[in-house]
Every structure is written in structure tokens, then in C-alpha cells.
Structure 1
Amino acid sequence: MREQPMRPSPISATVDFETDGIQHGFLRLPYSRDDSAWGSVMIPITVVKNGRGPTALLTGGNHGDEYEGPIALFELARSLDPAEVQGRVIIVPAMNYPAFLAGTRTSPIDKGNLNRSFPGRPDGTVTEKIADYFQRVLLPLADVVLDFHSGGRSLDFLPFCAAHILADKAQEESAFDFVKAFAAPYSMRMLEIDSVGMFDTAAEEMGKIFITTEIGGGGSATAGSVAIARRGAMNVLRNAGIVEGEPEILPTVWLDMPDARCFAFAEDVGLVEFMADLGEPVESGAVVARIHPTGRTGAKPLEIRAGMDGILIARHHPGLIKPGDCCAVLAVRIEEQ
């Protein structure tokens, strides 16, 4: 039986990716719903192009409750002058726009987690259609991809930029060169515990240079975390040769997540108390958090112990925790890459 050709994407861009200058427009995805029969999801996009050169794809809002990236990228879309650019910059401040408007990690339309939906489908759910457009249209245009993340409402992180260990060592080396150029306070050799369907994986499998961040969290942004995002985005453009000048390099602490021992998960419901703060050292076997039962007084708390020596790089943000929630994440300090 002959394989059917892939359908074209239902998403249409109101910008031309090949035209010089600056264009502000939308990725328009038809979405018929109760309150708008011929309605659309309108995802903001900016393209800044000037002559020949590399293309950087800068994205935020992959998860809708993470705000440092969108703040930095909406501002960059307003301020980046085409005369400063040699090449092309594609800016999508809020990839999963329905989730971004709702302030939720996943889409309120279909509960889709965009960062677990790649390669997507042109005839799938709204989230799958967005993933398909990035997979088949935007990623092939890019040389370098910077995807901003933070902890959202459920986690809080030390501010770091990260890349992954890859089979292609030349690609890996280039990615870590961009991590160094981003110049976050911390730089990470990152381990993913659930990489299937990720934007990261889609880009890396195409041979793209891909870097990401975890900058703060708690469902908000601070002046400091936004400043890291702003500086990092410009540093990436400078390092790519798209914007003239050298990256503004600041001191960074290099970290590694060597294996699954980095992660600690809750096994019961309760009130969580941390025994260390972000950035503090934790010894293997030490109690990193306690979960206090809330159904009655007098019950002994459940202890969450560290599986390795390291520093605390992420923690559960809300005061209450449920079984299966990521409670704490550790990493080890390493020499500069």
C-alpha cells in the first residue's frame, strides 16, 4: 500500500520569511469553536531580516506559565533594528499561545503539552498542529534555536542555560559554545527524564544548534531573571554573527546532571518543607525535604533523601505536594566546558 503524502499545514503565516526588513504578524491556525465559527488561533511572530547570514529561531511560551522568555522576546521584537542584523531572526514569544493566554502549562483547548507533542500532525489537535508547523516550516529555516523555559507554577530553578549531550560531538560542542555565550549565572549539561516529543529533540535530530534555559519559576518573573533572559538572547545573536559585537560574558558556574539520581519525587501528599535552599550543597542520603501529613496531627513526616552529592538546582514551588510530583533536583559542579 502506497504511503499517503503528508498534508500541508493548516497554519498560514502573515509574514514573508524571505523579505528584508522587520515584519510583525501572526501564525494563523483556523480553530472553529462555540464563540467563533470561523475563528483562528493567532500566534504572534516577528521576522527581522537583512541580507544573507545565519537564522536564529528564538522562542518562549512553549509552556504557557513561564514568563522570562516571553517578556524578553516581546521586547526584542519591538527593539531589534534590521540595520543591526546580518541574516535573519525569527521571534515567537509564545509558541503555545492558548496556554500562554490561560497562564497554564498545557493548552486549555486540548490539554496538549506542546513540548511533548513533536513532530506533531497537520490533522491533529490544535497543539499537534502547532508542533507540526514548527517541525516542518520553522525548524528547517533555523541554524540556531534558543527556547526559553523556567519552572512555571510548579517548580523553581537556579537560573541556567543548558544543552544536551549528543551523539554528534561537533554539534554538541557548538551547542555548549552557545551556552557559554548566553552567560547565565549557571550553565548546565542537562539530562532529560522524558525527551520523547520534545522541541529540543526535534531540533537536535535535524542537526540544529539547540540551547534552552531554566530561569527561575513559581509562575512569575523577577527583574533579575528577565535581565538574564534579555542579555542571553542578545549574546546568542552576537555569538551567531547575526548581530555585530562580542557576547557580554559574565562568570558562570558549570553543572552536570549525570543520571536519574538527580531527581527526587514525592510518594505521598502533604505539606512540603525543604531542608536546603536553591544553590546549597546536599550530601547523598541527607534529607532534602520533608512531607508533613495534613490529615491529622501527630503523624510523622515522610523524608525525601538525596540520591547523590550535589547542589539543589530545582525544587517544588507550591507549599502542598502530591504523589509523583518532582520534589527536588540536584546537579554536580564541574570544570568549565
Structure 2
Amino acid sequence: MSIDRPSKIQATIDLDADGKRFGALVVPHSRNDSAWGSIRIPIAVIRNGDGPCALLVAGNHGDEYEGQIALRDLARTLDPVEVSGTVIVLPGLNYPAVRSATRCSPIDGGNMNRSFPGRPDGTITQMIAHYVATVLVPRADLVLDLHSGGKTLDFVPFAATHRLPDKALEARAIAAVEAFGAPVGVVMLELDAEGMLDTWVEGLGKLFVTTELAGGGSSTVRSNRVAATGVRNVLKHMGILRGEPEIAEPSRMVDMPDERCFVAAERNGIHEPLAELGDEVAEGQPVARIHSMDEPSHEPAVYVARRSGVLIGRHFPGLVQAGDFLASVAVDL
């Protein structure tokens, strides 16, 4: 089915009128307990005349919280008179996953960030992705998609973009990452970019910035501060808000040039980190051990960094399965 067919989702507010409006995206969802039911995804639009449009997204994965907190605060407090242009706020995009505190939707198992550009006649997750891809993204000059590690990962708080064939767009995206003002800025390698919001937006030639802001299925004072400041900084960078970005210290800009930046587990067991986030590590340096759960007499398996650089991400839970991500290392630009 072509994505060009119109969406079944309806917005309860005018997306193009001036002022501030709170409403919902109404997704049809007929089910056992509600034959003519629907899912109502919160949306806010703050608009003041002509100017750039920023689409701000959080809750793409339901167990990632810094973005959800920052965007709810922004939507409540941002006065239209401060704005030149339009700010569209989706503080809980995958709303079923947000409600259940899970990465993926409990309704259809859909991973929102592997579902773009979606389908107008697909699952709930695909329908939401299709609406964003075909109705909201075309309005936007910038898409800021706020992620963190969820329940399974932890990161040095960073903003990120990607290597792009269009080097002018890549340079603009790196400048927006620097304007966000996170402790680290990453030119990120995606091991699987198919179906991501990132890939869809960048493929349309639009500016895209994402983040990974701590993790563990919660948030911290520091990570929430980075998110809140970064969102406003990007809006200032785009000229939607007045003033200059508030950057206490320039981001450390790093690159992820190839798959050697990643370390993955090859067995099940108990995870023991051997390096702290933000540590400098050398190629061949141990970064994690995995202990056998069943055989205490067995020596733990040692996993080493595959290149020298800074440790920016790691596995979070105490248990690990074969194939799980263990650590990521980035190198200075």
C-alpha cells in the first residue's frame, strides 16, 4: 500500500493557526473493550506568523523520559509572543508505549523508530508513523527527536546527527548539534537505519538532530537540565526563539566512523562494566566482563574496546544475553 494515501488519523486542533493550542491526534483503534475506540496522542502547536517550523518529538520509545519531561514543560511555558514561526510538540509519540513504560508498543509490538514511513492502513504503530511522515514532517524545517537509553542502555548525554551524502546538509546538522549544547556531540553510526525517523527526515533533505540523554529507564537532574536547555538552544539556533544558545561549555565533538565503535556480547550472563561512561579507553582495553550464571568456577568472558576513544554508551541491566550491545566508543573529530 502506497504511503501517499491519506492518513486515517485526525488532529483535534488546527495545525496552521496562530496562537497556542493543545489537542490530540486521534488514531482509530477498534478493540475488544471499545468497538469504536481510539487512541489520543497529545500534541501542542505554538505558532506566531511566518518563519521556520520545528517538529519536536519525544516518547518515540516509551521508556525514555528526558525528552518527554522537557517537551511537556516547553509546551506549557512557551508563549506565542516569544516565537517567530511554528513549534509542533509531540511529547509522547508512541503513546501506547509511553503509557506502558515500554520501548515498543504493547498493542502491536511495533518499534516506532523502525516503522517509518509507516502505512495508512497498517498497525497502530505504522499508522502513527505514516501521519508523522506525511503530515507533520513536510511542515518542518527541523526535526528534533529526543531519545535516551531507556531501560537497557546508558549514555553520556549527547546530541547527534549522521554522516550524509549532502555535505551542506551534514554541516548544518553538525552546527545544530553544537548549538544543542550537550556535553558531547556525536556524528553517529547507525547499525540499522532502516525505518528510522532519522532516515526518513534526512532523505527528504531536512535538518535532523537526535539525542541520547542518560538512560536506565529514568532521568536525572543533570540529564533533564541538558534536555530542557538543549531544546531551547536549538529553537534559538533556528531563529524561532530570540537570543543566542546558552552553552556553558562547547560540546566535545566525536565521530563513530565504523562498526569497531561497538562491542557486543557473545554469551549470556551477569554483566560487569569495567569502564565508566566518559572514560578514555585504549584499543584492546577491557570494558566489560560477563560472568557465568550457572558455573561459578568458569572464568568470566572479557570484552575489550575495538578502538581507542571515549566510552559514550554501555549496557545498563545486570543481566546480558548473547547479541546484546555492551559498549560504544567514539573518537574525537
Q: 2:124 aligns with which of 126, 129, 140?
A: 126
| 8 Å CA contact 1:185, 1:250 repeated in 2 | no
Structure 2 counterparts to residues 12-27 of structure 1, below 5 A: 12-27=10-25
- Distance (Å, rounded) in 2 between the aligned partners of 1:157 and 1:106: 20
- SS across alignment from 2:93: coil
CA deviations over 1:259-313 (Å, ceiling 9, x no partner): 0001111111101111111011111112111100011221111111111111111
| 8 Å CA contact 1:150, 1:214 repeated in 2 | yes
Give the TM-score, by structure 1 length.
Answer: 0.97
- SS across alignment from 1:46: strand
Structure 2 counterparts to residues 1-337 of structure 1, below 5 A: 6-251=4-249, 252-334=251-333
1:178 Cα shift?
0.7
| 8 Å CA contact 1:184, 1:250 repeated in 2 | no
1:7 Cα shift?
2.7
- SS across alignment from 1:318: coil
- Distance (Å, rounded) in 2 between the aligned partners of 1:176 and 1:73: 22
- SS across alignment from 1:109: coil
CA deviations over 1:24-49 (Å, ceiling 9, x no partner): 00000010111111111110000000
- SS across alignment from 1:134: helix
- Distance (Å, rounded) in 1 between the aligned partners of 2:209 and 2:178: 10
- SS across alignment from 1:42: strand
Give the TM-score, by structure 2 length.
Answer: 0.98
- The aligned amino acid for 1:266 is A
| 8 Å CA contact 2:3, 2:130 repeated in 1 | no
- The aligned amino acid for 1:269 is N
Segments of 5+ residues of structure 1 without an aligned counterpart are: none
- Distance (Å, rounded) in 2 between the aligned partners of 1:326 and 1:114: 20
- The aligned amino acid for 1:27 is L
Segments of 5+ residues of structure 2 without an aligned counterpart are: none
- Distance (Å, rounded) in 1 between the aligned partners of 2:280 and 2:181: 22
1:78 Cα shift?
0.4
1:124 Cα shift?
0.5
- Distance (Å, rounded) in 2 between the aligned partners of 1:37 and 1:224: 44
- SS across alignment from 1:70: helix
- SS across alignment from 1:237: helix
- The aligned amino acid for 1:281 is E
1:333 Cα shift?
2.0
- Distance (Å, rounded) in 1 between the aligned partners of 2:239 and 2:4: 35
- The aligned amino acid for 1:317 is F
Cα distance, 1:230–1:4 mapped onto 2, change above 3 Å: closer
Q: Which moved more, 1:87-96 or 1:274-283?
A: 274-283
Cα distance, 1:272–1:99 mapped onto 2, change above 3 Å: same
- Distance (Å, rounded) in 1 between the aligned partners of 2:162 and 2:3: 33
- The aligned amino acid for 1:212 is T
| 8 Å CA contact 2:3, 2:120 repeated in 1 | no
Cα distance, 1:34–1:293 mapped onto 2, change above 3 Å: same
Counting aligned pairs with the same residue, the percent is 55
Cα distance, 1:296–1:58 mapped onto 2, change above 3 Å: same
| 8 Å CA contact 1:148, 1:212 repeated in 2 | yes
1:4 Cα shift?
7.3
- SS across alignment from 1:98: helix
- Distance (Å, rounded) in 1 between the aligned partners of 2:33 and 2:5: 27
- The aligned amino acid for 2:71 is L
- The aligned amino acid for 1:320 is L
